[in-house]
Amino acid sequence: MFLKNCWYVAALDHELTDGKLLNRTVLGEHLLLYRGESGRVNVLNDRCPHRGALLSQGRLEGDGVRCMYHGIKYDGSGKCTQIPGQDMIPPKLRVRSYPVLERGHFVWVWMGDAAKADPASILDLRYLEDSNWKGIPAYLHYDANYLLIVDNLSDFSHLAFVHTKTLGGSEEYAYVSKPSVIERLENGFRVERWHWDSDPPPFHQKVIPDKTAKVDRRNIAWMTVPGIFNMETLFAPAGQGKQTAAAGGAKEYRNCQFMTPETERTTHFFWSYLNNFEGEDSTISRSLLDSLIEGFMEDKAIIERQQKTLEEDPSFQMLGILADAPLAHFRRVLDRLINAEQNSGATQPAEVRPTTAAG
């Protein structure tokens, strides 16, 4: 069961270049995404209602798409506009369309009741469209349920063990640092964590001149429904963390990640890792992209094995520890919203308020 009355990232904008008809499954539904001649992105159910052929195997014509089984054409709203050899068009011969928006190189789709699709409810991650923040959007596919990825991102202590030589830096992070703030929100949680007087982690060392100087490291992360993670990371000279955080001038990153269920056991994972200090030197963004991919592949190996473990033994119950408090809260919030939506027959919008990265 998925929450439907909310926005999900369905594609990166560059995936829709050159007239490409993109087939992508979201929440178990086959979608066709394409950019028409006008530049507008359209999302339709990827199935011709005539005989069920895939529209993604059709042909783009202007802002519409023609099914290449019997040549029937539909516009971007899903309305049938032409049937070769037939003037009368049956009113029922139309394709379901989905509300769609583009924000910061990401294409968002609303999978629920179209009448309730409010653009203002998309999480406000303003740095994705701020020219002072540089990054390269990217995508991975997981053979695992999206909530296992949410779980992974809900506890920073795994950085110390899974990512010792990539994103974490050392096992010390897990032993000497603890969350200074855990805030339970209506639509997720917020966690803040400092690591004082530590070695810079490998991904940061690669893009700074002084690779040995100790740093104070702060992570502030939000996880919000349905599966959106954003984290503010700050590195300041050791002993200056709080002063630099208040005054500005530190080297900072913004980590934006979007978990979109493909099916109950597979996930689309989109992200952009941004920095505020590279200027025109895009080699930093490329280095960070490589580092993030290396780190995410470490996560991916564990999470996909988790999925197999759970499938092999459905009786296995994962047991919680204190560090699981944020993820437990998130799952309770999500379950409550899904149950409310299901019990109302999806006639009422989920009560999910947008939250900015500032809180």
Integer Cα distance of 72 and 95 in angstroms: 11
Q: pLDDT band for 162, please (50, 70, 90 cuts).
A: confident
Q: What DSSP letter does each residue of 181-221 carry, written as one string? A: EEEEETTEEEEEEEEEEEPPPHHHHTTSS-SSS-EEEEEEE
| Amino acid code (one letter) for 326 | P
User: Structure pTM?
Assistant: 0.91
Residues linked to residue 25 through DSSP beta bridges, in sequence order: 30
What is the mean pLDDT of the segment spanning 319-345? 92
Report whether pLDDT(289) > 70. yes
Q: pLDDT band for 358, please (50, 70, 90 cuts).
A: very low
Q: What is the pLDDT of residues 13-50, one digit of tens each?
A: 999 999 999 999 999 999 999 999 999 999 999 999 99
Per-residue HEC secondary structure of 278-331 comes to: CCCCCHHHHHHHHHHHHHHHHHHHHHHHHHHHHHHCCCCCCCCCHHHHHHHHHH
Q: pLDDT band for 345, please (50, 70, 90 cuts).
A: low
Q: Evaluate the CA torsion angle 356, 167, 326, 144 in order and state its sign.
A: positive
Report whether pLDDT(347) > 70. no
Name the least confident of 214-223, 326-335, 339-348. Answer: 339-348
Rg value, the chain, Cα: 22
Rounded to 10 deg, the angle between the 283-312 and 146-153 helix axes is: 120
- In the sheet that holds 22-26, the strands lie side by side as 22-26, 29-35, 41-45
Ordered domains of the chain (ranges, CATH): 7-116 (2.102.10.10), 123-343 (3.90.380.10)
